C-alpha cells in the first residue's frame, strides 16, 4: 500500500434506527390503497418496502413488504399477497418506478373484482414514513482488512445504514463499503464486485451480515 493510500480517511461505523411518522392516510379497501399510492411521498414507499428489515416479523416472513402483509392478513387475498411479495425493490431504478409496479398489480387485482372487499377499521392499511436517526458507534476501520474484522460484529442497524440506506443516500447508488474501497484504487475491484452481487432485500439483516462477512473473509483468504 502506497503513501497516498495511508492518507485515506478511516471508515467510520455508524448505527441507526427508524423513527416512524404518521401521514394520516389510511386505506380500508384495495381501491383506496391504490388511490393513496398515487399521492403518498417516496419516503412512504421506501418505508413500506425496506423498514421491515429493522422490525421483527412475527407473521409469515415470506411476505417481504407491508403491502403484501396487508393483502394476506387483512384482505385474506393470498394470490395478491404473493404477487406483491415477490417484488424486489432493487430491480427498480427509483422509488417512483417501484410505486408504479405496486399500482399496476393493484389495478390488475381490481379489474378482477366487482366490489373490492373492505376491512374493519382496526385493520386498515396505514401509510407511514420514517426518519432515520444515526448513531456514532465509536468504531472505525483504517484499512479493508480491519473492516473485514469489524463487519462480523456490526449491529443490524449498522448493516442497514451502510449497506441498504447507503444505496439511497449515495449519489452513485452504491453501498458505503464499496464506496470506501474504491479509494484504494484497483486493488479491491474484485471484492467490490462480489459485494455488489449480494441481494440486500430477501434476507434478514443478520443473514446479510453473514453474507458480507463471508465475502470479505473469502476475499482475504484467497488473496493472502
Task: Please state the domain extents for the chain.
Answer: 19-129, 140-223
Beta bridge partners of 139: 13
Helix axes 95-111, 42-50, angle to 10 degrees: 80
What confidence score (pLDDT) does residue 206 get? 93
Per-residue model confidence as pLDDT tens digits over 120-179 = 989 999 999 999 999 999 999 999 999 999 999 999 999 999 999 999 999 999 999 999
pLDDT digits (tens, 9 = 90+) for 160-177: 999 999 999 999 999 999
Using the CB atoms, write b or e for 144-165: b if 16+ within 10 Å: beebbebbeebbbbbbbbbbbb
Amino acid at each position: 500500500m502506497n503513501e497516498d493510500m495511508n492518507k485515506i480517511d478511516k471508515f467510520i461505523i455508524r448505527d441507526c434506527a427508524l423513527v416512524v411518522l404518521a401521514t394520516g392516510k389510511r386505506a380500508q379497501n384495495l381501491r383506496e390503497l391504490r388511490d393513496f399510492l398515487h399521492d403518498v411521498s417516496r419516503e412512504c414507499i421506501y418505508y413500506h418496502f425496506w423498514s421491515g428489515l429493522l422490525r421483527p416479523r412475527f407473521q409469515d416472513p415470506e411476505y417481504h413488504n407491508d403491502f403484501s402483509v396487508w393483502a394476506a392478513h387483512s384482505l385474506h387475498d393470498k394470490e395478491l399477497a404473493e404477487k406483491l411479495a415477490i417484488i424486489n425493490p432493487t430491480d427498480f431504478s427509483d422509488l417512483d418506478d417501484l410505486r408504479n409496479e405496486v399500482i399496476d398489480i393493484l389495478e390488475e387485482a381490481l379489474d378482477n373484482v366487482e366490489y373490492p372487499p373492505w376491512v374493519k377499521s382496526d385493520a386498515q392499511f396505514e401509510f407511514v414514513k420514517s426518519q432515520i436517526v444515526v448513531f456514532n458507534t465509536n468504531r472505525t476501520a483504517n484499512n479493508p482488512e480491519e473492516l473485514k474484522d469489524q463487519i462480523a460484529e456490526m449491529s443490524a442497524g449498522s448493516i442497514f445504514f451502510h449497506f441498504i440506506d447507503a444505496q439511497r443516500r449515495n449519489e452513485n447508488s452504491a453501498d458505503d463499503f464499496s464506496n470506501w474501497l474504491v479509494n484504494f484504487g484497483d486493488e479491491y475491484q474484485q471484492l467490490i464486485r462480489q459485494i455488489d452481487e449480494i441481494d440486500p432485500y430477501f434476507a434478514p439483516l443478520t443473514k446479510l451480515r453473514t453474507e458480507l462477512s463471508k465475502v470479505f473473509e473469502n476475499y482475504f483468504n484467497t488473496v493472502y
